[in-house]
Chains A and B, each alone.
Chain A
């Protein structure tokens, strides 16, 4: 009976320990290896009052072009000079904003199979969003030339 009591206590301590642990401060190196869309979209967030370590840094991101099979959607992306990179595992996506040679970049994107992963090197650019009174910061990945997009890891 004494052993049982000890095991019960141990189980409840274990439960509380796991439920109460927080994620703490994690650090990602953005330009060392290609990161998933999920990782970078989670990491590159913050308060509008604080300048975060990821802002305006070079970032390497891998993912799939969202809506690549949809020609009219790709045309809309072209018109808006952007496309979205998606993590098909989580469904999360980030905006890739084109600040330079749009024609060359989309020519390259149009050669990509829908199911092929692409690798993008860009700059993690902060953008702000207001939710009521609260201002939060997220990121878009800015690229300016076709060499920023590749089908293989560089």
Chain B
């Protein structure tokens, strides 16, 4: 719903793309023994009002169970809402909240096992942005993903394992619509 709220006119700073990549961390639960590897994705945002932006993104997260052939790939389409705080002319802090529906594909080729589970995903995040005069800004980010898997007794009979907690920390680049000649104001 937020995504389709129209912004009046698209001038400087009204929309942008970003691409990021980070390292994943797992937490106690079904994937506790997995070692996170990479979380990467992209999203598009547009201005709603003032420094409030909304958009949509898609991330893919790779998890690996060390010493085995078990792998899990998490597909995370999300809708985002973020607010941009200016710290200085060149730096900004951007807290965000995302919601979506994620798909987790578990696979172990050695045993011929493959299964996909899915569930709602809530994801708060924080970006520290370095604003430039160029067409690109850069950031470091931290993101937490909480996924509540749909009930499926074949997978687990315990609610405990339906709660999946992941986080990632990494770097990203924001691609603005065009080069504006000065850092974006917020």
Chain A residues packing against B (C-beta within 8 Å): 1, 4, 7-8, 11-12, 14-15, 18-19, 23-24, 26, 28, 35-36, 38-39, 42-43, 64, 88-92, 115
Contacts and interface: CB of A to CB of B under 8 A. Distances in A.
B133 to A, nearest CB: 31
Nearest to A1: B49
Contacts of A88: 68, 70, 108, 110-111, 113
10 contacts: A11-B81, A23-B159, A26-B158, A39-B158, A43-B158, A64-B111, A89-B30, A90-B161, A92-B33, A115-B112
Interface residues on B, range: 35 or more
Nearest to B157: A39
A14 B97 CA distance: 11
Given A4-B52, A18-B146, A90 B30 contact: yes
Contacts of A38: 30, 156, 161
Given A4-B52, A14-B99, A91 B159 contact: no
B2 interface: yes
A29 B73 CA distance: 31
B49 A4 contact: yes
Nearest to A24: B159
Interface string B44-74: 0000110010000000000001001010000
Contacts, number: 76
CB-based closest 10 A-B pairs: A91-B33, A23-B160, A91-B65, A115-B111, A88-B108, A90-B30, A39-B157, A88-B111, A11-B97, A18-B122
Contact of A15 (B30, B122, B160): B122
A64 B157 CA distance: 19
Contacts of B34: 91
B107 to A, nearest CB: 10
Contacts of B49: 1, 4
